[in-house]
Amino acid sequence: MTVEKFKVPVSMLAPMIDPGQLGFDDTGGLEPLTDIIGQERAAEALEFGLNMKSPGFNLYVSGPVGTGKGTLVRQMVKRMAQAALASSDWCYVNNFQDPSRPICLSLPAGQGVSFKREMAGFIDGLRRDIPMAFESKKYLDAKAKLHDDIDAKKKSLFQELTELSRTRGFGFEETSVGFGIVPLKSGKPMTDADMEAMTEEEQWDLNERRKTLEGEIREFHVRIHGLEIEAEHQQRHLDRQLVTNVLEGRYETMRRAYQEIPAILTFLERVRDDIVHHYKDFLPREGPTLAIPGLEFKRPDMSRFLVNLIVQHDPTEGAPVIDESHPTYTNLIGKIERRAHMGVMYTDFTEIHAGAVLLANGGYLIVNALDMLRQPFSWDALKRVIKTGEVKIEDPGEFYGFSTAGLRPEPIPVNVKVIMVGPPILYHLLQAYEEDFGKLFKVKADFDTEVERSERQDRQYARFIAKLCREEGLPHFGADAVAEILRQGLRFADRHDRLSLRFSLVSDLIREAGYWARKEGHSFVSRADVDAAVSHKRHRSNLAEHWIQDEIKEGTLMIDLDGDVVGQVNGLSVHELGDYSFGRPTRITARTYVGTKGVIDIQREAELAGMIHSKGVMTLAGFLAGKFAGSYPFAMSASVTFEQTYSEVEGDSAAVAELAAILSSLANLPIHQWLAVTGSVNQLGEIQPIGGANEKIEGFFESCSRRGLTGKQGVIIPARNTKHLALRLDVVEAVESGHFSVYAVNTIEEALELLTGIAAGERDLDGTYPSDSVFGRAAQRLEEMAQAVAEWSEGEEKPSGHIITEP
């Protein structure tokens, strides 16, 4: 048998890049990369979504970590934002009619700060000017004249009352509780003797006159009180007229400055009315003050006139771009803080703070989908904002059922483009289980993980290296180092014709190579430095692999790497440990015997097999039945297992190895133990590609090299996996020197020929296989099993040498 036809050429094992064809000596002379490599599909989707102004055309940016999603999104968003108009400033002011419902005001970009400053200056000026006006001579004279006029009227009324009382025969005398009336006789108060000397008729007349006078005195008090009320009204009118005159100039200046914003004019009118009606808040307090600590008199709070500027923008910076890294409810929507005073929590409109949505109003909001969905209320709040087009800042305590008699700020209208960044699986889950998602996020931007290699892409990779070197102060890369980075980029993609777009991995490799270059004192990074970075990173991560390979070498994990064994084959598996994965050989054994149970997967019976692995094993039964069932019943049972594995086995990449072990046991043909095999197989015997081809080859190579390469050892892979090969250079060198081999097969027949050294066999015209072929021996054995079952069913004695199992 010739095996050369199955060998994979050395040129296909790993891409070799000639540094001389890159067209430069080092990256120092290259122009740094300014765009993203190989994400044209995503860039087109982003361009469409960002320019689409209709409702619901928000974006979900999908792709694995490290593909440059965030970088491209920020670049495109910032470019578009710079060309857009700056968004409005927003502020909250006091609602003088209902302080629990603050009013929102919108101003052109940059004017919010001016309005806040001018409003504070307006109030500070009045706090200075109003007290001065009340101390002016003109005001004091007017106030004195007003009081004198009222006092004269009171005096005139009192004189009238005095004259009237004298005509009634009474006078006034001072008592401990005020003034009282006493009867007069000859102009003097009557004595007790005078009173006793009066007749009954005179006493009755005196009482009647007293009652009449008391009524007139009550009328006097009413008129006096009326004068006092009139005095208060006149005083208040005088004071308000004075305050109006004081603030009129400042008010008119403010009104003219914002005459094109009706909402501000309305607010200024209410401010003026409040100042006029509560002008005493601007005056110093008269009378003694309390000396109790904490209760000392303070001037009335003027915060009701303040402007709470919650969103401000520079008119020269374009539309806002907010990248919210921690999208909690309050960070996203906003919050109302509270202050403590004398053990009481209180709040007002000055404690309202904007969230990311308001800060991004008129622009772009970028959030991480996973981070947002982890936060209570954030997703529902964002949906509500997109649906209603407004932000309503509320106390989150209300969502938990706590009653809070707090503020109800006026909702602020928003128009924001939301860009959610997340993994692909989350997009599909939201589409399936969140009914509003498809209506709110109508644009998906998918980021790829690899791009077809070309001369242009090689150049862009080099420019990316140049950019990173300049940004982070790394030594520049020589052409040979760039070539090695390109080769590692192909390896990251598991293809020799495609470059990886996982630039987080590439960037870390560039940084580590720069570190080793500096440590060695190199002015430029060389290929040796890149190799050092790769080997050191592997050494830091491969402790588990080292343990397993040591146990294989010592024989603790039983793996035969030489000789021939019936029903035993070296399969290959991959272990994934976070950011590091490695391959290793695993012994797979099979035993066949008379029965009708078909293929028994011990892993599945022990509940140590995943669904895909179980499917692969059941596929083997379909292949065997289709290949051999015909003129006699298929009377075989076979057990197959992964030896020395104690955790779940998943995947169908061991199907070829399992089928080879079963056929080896059935045909009683030994399998070469110096070979390992991986591949999936369908019911037609076609070998299908698998994942982790590079790791599996390198894992078996590591086991062989530790025991010593013999020149016969090698790995059989599906031919459709040859395009995924990007092996380590030490493996390529071993293949090139003839110490190791990699074979590629398309069918199970080709794999069996390599594993056994015997042709699998093809059916003759009479439908039988050659007796000396793998299939011929297997068919003969199956016929014997069928006869044994038939004899046993007829009650005859069991043939010796056969194991009979109950059907």
Distance CA 614, CA 606 (A): 12
Rounded to the nearest 5°, which phi and psi values hold at 172? -110, 140
Structure-token pair, residue 746 = 């398309």
Question: In what helix (H) or strand (E) does residue 741 lie, and over which residues does it extend?
Answer: strand 741-745
Tell me the HSE value of 637 on the side-chain side, using a 13 A CA sphere.
15
Structure-token pair, residue 710 = 């013999």
Contact between 479 and 530 under an 8 Å Cβ cutoff? The reply is no
Distance CA 618, CA 609 (A): 12
Contact between 628 and 659 under an 8 Å Cβ cutoff? The reply is no
**Length in residues, the chain:** 807
Phi-psi region of 578 (alpha: psi -120 to 50; beta: other; left: phi over 0): left
Distance CA 71, CA 502 (A): 12
The residue type found at 395 is D
**Catalytic hit among 116, 335, 417, 696:** 696
Question: In what helix (H) or strand (E) does residue 732 lie, and over which residues does it extend?
Answer: helix 729-736
Question: In what helix (H) or strand (E) does residue 46 lie, and over which residues does it extend?
Answer: helix 40-51
Distance CA 737, CA 690 (A): 27
Tell me the HSE value of 608 on the side-chain side, using a 13 A CA sphere.
14
Rounded to the nearest 5°, which phi and psi values hold at 33? -70, 135
Structure-token pair, residue 784 = 């014997």
CB burial string 337-373: b at 16+ within 10 A, e below: eeeeeeeeeebbbbbbbbbbbbbbbbbbbbbbbebbb
List the end-to-end C-alpha distance of the chain, in Å, as a whole number: 40
Distance CA 661, CA 620 (A): 11
Does 106 qualify as catalytic in the annotation?
Answer: no
Tell me the HSE value of 614 on the side-chain side, using a 13 A CA sphere.
11
CB burial string 723-746: b at 16+ within 10 A, e below: ebbbbbeebbebbeeebbbbbbbb
Of 703, 622, 695, nearest in space to 653 by CA: 695
The residue type found at 304 is R
Of 310, 315, 339, 150, nearest in space to 230 by CA: 150
Tell me the HSE value of 149 on the side-chain side, using a 13 A CA sphere.
12
Structure-token pair, residue 798 = 């069991």
For residue 219, how far is the Cα from the chain centroid? 80
Does 653 qualify as catalytic in the annotation?
Answer: yes
**Catalytic hit among 378, 500, 639, 653:** 653
Of 652, 594, 582, 588, nearest in space to 623 by CA: 652
Name residues whose C-beta falls within 8 Å of residue 510's C-beta, 6 or more positions apart in sequence.
465, 468, 469, 474, 477, 485
Residues with a catalytic annotation lie at 653, 696
